[in-house]
Amino acid sequence: MLKDENDGVRSSAVAVLEQLAKFAKFTNPIGSAVFHLVEMLKDEKYFVRSGALDGLIALAEHAEHRNLGARRNDAMEIDWNPTIF
**Overall average pLDDT of the 57-72 stretch:** 54
Buried b (16+ CB within 10 A) or exposed e, 44-57: eeebeeebbeebbe
Number of domains in the chain: 1
Asked, for residue 53, whether it belongs to a domain, the answer is yes
Asked, for residue 1, whether it belongs to a domain, the answer is no
User: 78 pLDDT band (50/70/90 cuts)?
Assistant: very low
Asked, for residue 70, whether it belongs to a domain, the answer is yes
Asked, for residue 71, whether it belongs to a domain, the answer is yes
Neighbours of 58 (CB within 10 A): 16
pLDDT of 76: 44
Asked, for residue 28, whether it belongs to a domain, the answer is yes
| CB-based contact 38:56 (threshold 8 Å) | no
pLDDT digits (tens, 9 = 90+) for 11-61: 666 666 666 666 665 556 666 666 666 666 666 555 555 556 566 666 666
DSSP state of 81: -
Q: Containing domain of residue 34, as a range?
A: 6-76
User: Is the predicted pLDDT of residue 71 greater than 50, yes or no?
Assistant: no
Asked, for residue 11, whether it belongs to a domain, the answer is yes
Asked, for residue 85, whether it belongs to a domain, the answer is no
